[in-house]
Structure 1
Amino acid sequence: MKTDLNSSSHLFRFQMHFPLKKYLPFVSVVLVVLVGLLPVYFGSVISKNKQETEVLASQLSETNDQLASVSATLTHVTSEDQFVKNKELEEEIKNIQTAFNQSLQSYEDILSLREKQAKVTDLEGQFSEILDYLAKRNYASASATLTGLQNDISALESELAAAVVVPESAPVSNSAPAAGGYNQQAVETEIGKFLVDILAADLNSTRVIVETASSSDCADNCPVDSLASYVAKSGGFAGINGPYFCPAEYPSCAGKSNSFDTLLMNKNKYYFNSDNNVYSSVPAVIFNGSSARFVGASSEWGRDTSVDAVIAAQPMLLSGGNITFGGDGDPKKGSRGSRSFIGTRGSSVYIGVVRGATVAEVSYVLKALGLEFALNLDSGGSTAFYVNGRYVAGPGRNTPFGIVLVRK
């Protein structure tokens, strides 16, 4: 953030040292007026003496030449010297923005690793060096150190992923639990074995609702609460964390901390972010009585308040039993960690967490379990899964919402 402030001060000083562009329009107007007044003045004199007229005409010509020369000089100064200076300033601002954005991403990656209980002391030391380089405007060294830091972050993420081992004690089963049941089980897929915590509930006897900390739209510094609190408020028996939001501890979330921008209807029938999602392509699930409907885009759904819950989240993992997400190049979705989901098959709803998986790998796991439809939820430090009075994953950070299962 200090980098941005410094760039603004440089720009201000630059403008103070090079004011010609600012005053050029005024100078030009004055010169034009002078040129226009000269003939008027000299015209009265011309009528008196022809000889004087010739002299004055010559003087007028010389004056016009001088004015043209001054104008050309001013144009040269403003169009050449100022242009060069502006290009230099533009390049510096570009370097600042690039380094700042890369640093921001690296810092948030370190936060994510810390949430996974990884040792990040060395990474934090490198990040401190980067800040020192930026303070000295040594962008080349900052960039080189950033590259090394990103490589070390990737290596540590791979190390953590390799350390996720399915316990020998975990029963291997590709069958989802029966309605009302909760299991921790190993699931065999065509791309490997994964540990899964999963709960099933019958929608004929269970309602899916959304608890929110805020009663209406919130853009910044939004209230948050724990998943256990959300479950307790509704008298539920289980809950899972909701979709993505902007955590307050992330620098990129400054000015929009703990906010979210996807469509969501809570238990009080309030539609969050309604106006912002008229044309949204974010998938959503609508729970109503004993059924659930998944849509490929929030824009396909109106604002019916007779339903129990509306949750927009991304990406869609399964549709009609088919995998709909195989990866999109996003490094966050492509890194392995604990991934939360919500899905259905027939009149059963499933919530749970797949351990040590990418978002795309979760699709394979849920397909192997026989689910028909599923949405990806938030993950990492937001992961929380609460069943019958205890956390089986998490508790994770406090969030602006929670998905809760309540008995009818």
Structure 2
Amino acid sequence: MKVKEIVLPFIHRKIIADTRVPITFGVILLLVGLFLMEGEFVAYLSFQQDSWRNQASVYLQELSDIKHEDQFVKNKNLQEEIANIEKTYKEVVGTYEDLVKLKEQTKVSEKLDETFVRALSELSERNFASGSATLSLLKQHISQEVEKLAIASAPGIENVLASNTPPSSGYDRQSVDSDIGRYLVDIVSADLSTTRVIVDTASDHDCSHDCPTLSLADYVSRNGAFAGVNGSYFCPAVYPSCSGKTNSFDTLLMNKNKVYFNSDNNVYSTVPAVIFGNGWIRFIGRSLDWGRDTSVDGMLANQPLLLSGGNIAFGGDDDPKKGSKGNRSFVGSRGNTVYIGVVRNVTVAESAHVLKSLGLENALNLDSGGSTALWSGGPASPSQGGYKLGPGRNIPNAILFVRK
């Protein structure tokens, strides 16, 4: 018989039925009854907990069985395979684009193409580890060829005048001694009191795909410029990853016609920029810090910012393209003088050291690789001026020096 079947009738008889029982004694009996009932309730809960624990064990075992069923294992394996495919696809595209970029500049050894084909063959057989390793090897070979090309395309540095002072005006090629070594620099200087700096674009408005491009010589010619350099990063048509956005650029820019490009998608942009005013130049660390002022002559955003206030602003990152050797275009300033040029055979971080050694106070990195081009000496006429480096591929925008 349960406790409550004994206690409750007794309490009822002694407290309720028998009014002679003192109230105090009745309360004590009631508390005793509740205590005994609580013990029974605790025992009941303990029993239920054991039951729930046993049921949970059953559920866990069933879940474990499901995880080891063929379909579950198949789905997990499929997810891993998809992840491998996505990873190696990005590696393939990136390596192919590096190979295309190299082919734009020089004749490529058949061994590089053969290595690329071998990687594709390994990946087609789902041998992702071997395919990835082959792609890594190919990237190393491409990087070595790019470095050799940069060295071969530059005049012997020993035959170039060593100077850490840029020209007061016009063009010069000079070797610069920096804290990281000696490097070759092609540079054009101009006084902002007599020079207007503009940004010209092949398109008249925003363009997200199949955008028009021009050679640097064409930009120089149609503006009557005496110097020019390639502009911001863009997506070349020869790159597979640029499908659907060929020749487009996505950073902020205002051209000579006071038209802002990519304004809506750069409201919160942290990409650095340079602004060209009437007799002044300004560098900012983030595009979002600049409004949409059309009273200036032009502005262009790109990255990274190399120098700021005479200090190195970029020391390198995990981007292998910035970390590889190559020719690096730039725009910079010191006081009232503006500079455009190319530092040869350097990483992006190394170019910052070289430009600091030249005495520049501010500098912004521009597009490089197959887009690199520098013009000096007058409008696009062989008798008046020409490419100091390039011509490179056609580009969607350029920075130009024009006489006031």
TM interval, shorter chain, is 0.7 to 0.9
* Offset from partner CA, 1:353-403 (integer Å, 9 cap, x none): 111111111111111111111100011100000112310000000011111
Stretches of structure 1 lacking an aligned partner (at least 5 in a row): 1-72
Matched, 1:390 2:386: yes
How far is 1:116 from its partner?
4.0
Residue 391 of structure 1 aligns with an amino acid whose one-letter code is Y
Q: Which stretch of the first structure deviates more once superposed, 93-102 or 212-221?
A: 93-102
What is the rounded CA distance, in whole Å, between the counterparts of 1:406 and 1:194 in structure 2? 28
Shift of 1:258: 0.8
2:284 match: 295
Of the structure 1 ranges 140-149 and 239-248, higher mean CA displacement relative to structure 2 is found in 140-149
Q: Distance in 2 between matches of 1:279 and 1:332?
A: 25
Q: C-alpha offsets along residues 151-202 of structure 1, whole Å, 9 cap, x if unaligned?
A: 43344445556666743321111111013x2111111111111111111111
Structure 1's consecutive aligned runs of 4 or more residues displaced over 6 angstroms after TM superposition are: 76-79
- 1:172 aligned residue: 162
Asked whether 1:112 is paired with 2:123, we answer no
Match of 1:70 in 2: none
Maintained 8 Å contact 1:334/1:359: yes
- The structural deviation recorded for 1:296 is 0.8
Normalised by the length of structure 1, the TM-score is 0.77
Q: Which letter does structure 1 place at the counterpart of 2:388? A: V
User: Deviation per CA, 1:9-62, whole angstroms, max 9, x where unpaired?
Assistant: xxxxxxxxxxxxxxxxxxxxxxxxxxxxxxxxxxxxxxxxxxxxxxxxxxxxxx
Kept after mapping to 2: 8 A contact 1:113/1:120: no
| In the alignment, structure 1 residue 251 sits paired with structure 2 residue 240 | yes
Within 1, Cα distance between the matches of 2:71 and 2:392? 53
AA paired with 2:164? N
Q: Match of 1:399?
A: 395
* Residue 114 of structure 2 corresponds to residue 125 of structure 1: yes
Shift in alpha-carbon separation, 1:329–1:78, aligned structure 2, 3 A: closer
In 1, Cα distance between equivalents of 2:403 and 2:221: 13
Q: Does 1:148 align with 2:137?
A: yes
SS at match of 1:142: helix
Report the counterpart of residue 344 of structure 1 in structure 2. Answer: 333
The structural deviation recorded for 1:105 is 1.6
Residues 282, 314 of structure 1: 8 Å contact kept: yes
Choose the corresponding residue for 2:342, options 331, 353, 357: 353
For the residue of structure 2 that corresponds to 1:217, the secondary structure is coil
* Contact 2:147–2:326 (8 Å) recurs in 1: no
Deviations 1:195-215, CA, capped at 9 Å, x for gaps: 111111111111111111111
The 5-angstrom pairing of residues 6-405 of structure 1 reads: 80-117=69-106, 119-157=108-146, 159-160=148-149, 166-179=156-169, 181-388=170-377, 389-405=385-401
Q: TM-score, normalised by structure 2?
A: 0.78
Q: Aligned partners of 2:150, 2:395: CA distance in 1, in Å?
A: 25
Assess, with a 3 A threshold, how the Cα gap between structure 1 residues 158 and 213 changes in structure 2: closer, same or farther. Answer: closer
1:334 and 1:118 mapped to 2: Cα distance?
23
Structure 2 residue runs without a partner (length 5+) = 1-61, 378-384
Cα distance in structure 2, aligned partners of 1:158 and 1:227: 24
Is the contact between residue 187 and residue 193 of structure 1 (CA under 8 Å) also seen in structure 2? yes
Decide whether the 8 Å contact of 1:184 with 1:196 is kept in 2. Answer: yes
Which of 1 and 2 has greater Rg? 2
C-alpha distance in 1 between matches for 2:151 and 2:194: 40
Contact preservation (8 Å) 1:166, 1:193: no
CA distance in 2 between counterparts of 1:397 and 1:338 reads 14
Aligned-pair identity in percent equals 59
Query: Does the 8 A contact of 1:166 with 1:186 survive in 2?
Result: no
User: Contact 1:264–1:311 at 8 Å: present in 2 too?
Assistant: yes
Q: Distance in 2 between matches of 1:78 and 1:336?
A: 50
Q: Secondary structure at the match of 2:341?
A: strand
1:288 maps to a residue whose letter is G
Q: CA deviation at 1:136?
A: 3.3
Report SS of the residue matched to 1:168. Answer: helix
Q: Distance in 2 between matches of 1:395 and 1:324?
A: 29
1:40 aligned residue: none
- Check 1:274–1:336 CA distance in 2 against 1; reply closer, same or farther (3 A cut): same
Determine helix, strand or coil for the equivalent of 2:303. coil
What's the offset of the Cα at 1:133?
2.6
**CA deviation map 1:229-251 (0-9, x unaligned):** 11111111111000111111111
Distance 1:165 1:236 in 2: 26
Q: Compared with structure 1, are the counterparts of its residues 166 and 318 closer, same or farther at alpha carbon in structure 2 (3 Å cutoff)?
A: farther
Cα distance, 1:106 vs structure 2: 1.4
